[in-house]
Amino acid sequence: MVLSLLLTGSSVVSLGGCTNGHTAVVQLQTDLVPGLEFDEVYVQATGLRSRRANLRDDYGRPVQVAEIGGIAAGTNVLVEVSLRRGGTEIVSRRVQHHIQTDTILGVIITRNCLEIACPSPGAPMATECRDGLCVTPDCEEDRSCMSPECVTDSECSSSVACVTPRCALGVCLDTPDATRCRSDEVCSPVSGCVPAAIPDAGAPDAFVAPDASTPPIDAFVPAPSFTLHHLPAAGSAFATLTTHGEVPTDPIEAVFAPEGTGDLVVLTHTEIFVLERASLTFLERHPRDAVFPELAGVFLADGYTIGEDLYFAEAGTTHTSWIYRWTHASRAAAHVRTMTAAELGADWHGPLAPPWWEGLAAFRVPNNREGWAAPDPSRSPCATTPIDGYIGILSWDGFGPAALIVSIYDTGCSQFVNQGYYASAVYPPFMLATAPDDGFTIDAMEWADGLWIFTSPR
């Protein structure tokens, strides 16, 4: 899910004119066990996606789970981090911070919050659990809203042999250390060394011994990070499709369809996957940085092709764009040019152009045989010219309550010719009952003999 920047107080995110704003890095520490008790870290913040939990990460120490860029000074940012297992939220925590400079937001999620229901009676604003107590979102880990439980590791203790007690920003964590267990075991901070298996149903804070049908962690296959929807050319309903092969389990950032092929190329933050449309099978995966070194560390908002040219746009406020020449046979990309938003022509800065606060997805349709795209006669200078090929761009309007905007760019007229809300008449396919009902769940989309849409879980 592409997620909105959550705002509080009277501050407004002035992202449109702040291209060099501040950066907030979100770091998570928890004594819950990745793979055993959670398999996904889900972060709500602008331009970000859910990420799968790395089973090798030591969450007893700070693990970076998000980076938010381009934040204007004076903005109140509310970031929510939740831990999930099998798509179900286990526990979450929100932290609010008043941004004045580049910031590290430390988020602690402890197992003693698993059974805590916040807000507590008589304190309706104390909606978050911090170390077993209900606090307000602005009670950050490094603030004096609570007395620290510890200052050094030596002040923390545990009776479980495989646990290493640690002091994390004033909170004692029962950090599991699997190296103290056998190779076929993992460390549960509740039960000690236990067989390496995903626990079955039961209270998340009480380890349940696995039965014979429970797969070991090494055999655990993470679920796809997406749902694939397809509206065929001239179709009247989207279908939800099942894919095969080694599917992406990290959030999808962009997808493009090389012309003259039967494939979709799917990009996560670190990898590239090739999906054969006919069989719905992921055939290949490659490191993204090896193919697109210029995009290393960049969160992408969208991607699409025009002939052999491939276009990517950065998620967030700068809307930097990269142009490549793509050779599908060799899966090779030759970098042609990098452009800033200021270098785009005047047609990309008019009243119908998409707002740059938050790009969501883009798709190019080479013709308008279905008649889905139409100009707005009251606002478009191209209203008398039929639309042939066009580009559709989905973006956040930048204001609250958050609204998703669809902008249509007529490639023949070289102008944006229409703009409206998602699921409105500006683009009829999104009005279909079978279309994704929440446009903010759309990660990426592309046209290839119909619309292909990748959505993430809510």
Same structural domain, 30 and 102: yes
Residue whose C-alpha is closest to residue 255's, from 221, 177, 415, 243: 243
**C-alpha–C-alpha distance, residues 15 and 125, integer Å:** 28
Instruction: Count up the domains in the chain and report the number.
Output: 2
Distances (CA, A) of 170 to 46, 140, 317: 28, 11, 35
Biggest alpha carbon–alpha carbon distance for the chain: 77
Do 155 and 249 lie in one domain? The reply is: no
Is the same domain home to 135 and 273?
A: no
Are 307 and 420 in the same domain?
yes
- How many C-beta atoms surround the C-beta of residue 337 within 10 A? 10
Helix (H), strand (E) at residue 288: helix 288-291
d(CA 412, CA 128): 52
- CB–CB of 66/48 below 8 Å? yes
Where does a domain end: 180, 208, 236?
208
Q: What is the DSSP string of 260-273?
A: TSSEEEEEESSEEE
Domain identity same for 321 and 200:
no
**C-beta neighbour count of 259 within 10 angstroms:** 14
Same structural domain for residues 115 and 30?
yes
pTM passes above 0.85: no
Q: How many CB atoms lie within 10 A of CB 33?
A: 24
| 272 shares a domain with 154 | no
Closest CA to 392 of 260, 308, 302: 302
> Which are the contacts of 172, defined by CB distance < 8 A and separation ≥ 6?
131, 149, 150, 155, 156, 157, 165, 166
**In a domain? residue 214:** no
**24 and 5 Cβ atoms separated by less than 8 Å:** no
Query: Which residues constitute the domain of residue 21?
Result: 6-208
> Which one of 164, 180, 208 terminates a domain?
208
Cα 18 to Cα 57: distance, rounded to the nearest angstrom: 34
In 3D space, the residue among 455, 440, 447 whose CA is nearest the CA of residue 303 turns out to be 447
By the 10 Å C-beta count (0-12 exposed, 13-18 middle, 19+ buried), 383 is classed as: middle
**What pLDDT, on a 0 to 100 scale, did the predictor assign at position 456?**
87
One digit per residue, the tens of pLDDT, for the chain of length 458 reads 222 222 222 222 222 333 467 888 888 989 888 877 888 888 876 545 555 566 667 788 888 888 777 788 888 788 889 898 877 888 999 888 888 888 888 899 988 898 888 887 778 888 899 888 888 888 876 555 777 888 888 899 888 898 888 888 888 888 888 778 887 787 888 888 888 654 433 333 333 333 333 333 333 345 688 999 999 998 999 999 999 988 988 889 999 999 989 999 999 988 999 999 999 999 999 999 999 999 988 888 889 898 889 999 887 666 789 999 999 999 999 999 998 877 877 777 788 888 755 678 999 999 999 999 999 989 888 877 889 999 999 988 766 566 889 999 999 988 999 999 999 999 999 999 999 988 888 999 999 999 999 998 76
CATH code at 323? 2.110.10.10
End position of a domain, from candidates 156, 180, 208? 208
Q: For residue 87, how far is the Cα from the chain centroid?
A: 14
Residue with tokens 């490549």: 324
Residue 288 belongs to some domain of the structure: yes
> Which pLDDT score is estimated for 55?
61
Distance, CA of 300 to CA of 359 (rounded, Å) = 9
Cα 431 to Cα 253: distance, rounded to the nearest angstrom = 24
CA distances from 454 to 45, 110, 140, 240, 435 (A): 19, 33, 35, 10, 11
Is 221 contained in some domain? no
- Domain shared by 151 and 18, yes or no: yes
294/441 same-domain check: yes
Q: Are residues 386 and 432 part of one domain?
A: yes
Q: What is the pLDDT of residue 51?
A: 57
Name which of 2, 40, 52 is nearest 442 in CA terms. Answer: 2
Q: Are strands 103-109 and 163-168 parallel, antiparallel or unpaired?
A: unpaired
Q: Which residue is associated with the tokens 């964590």? A: 173
* Whether residue 19 is found in the same domain as residue 116: yes
Residue 108: what are its φ and ψ, rounded to 5°? -105, 125
- Claim to verify: residue 442 and residue 338 sit in the same structural domain: yes
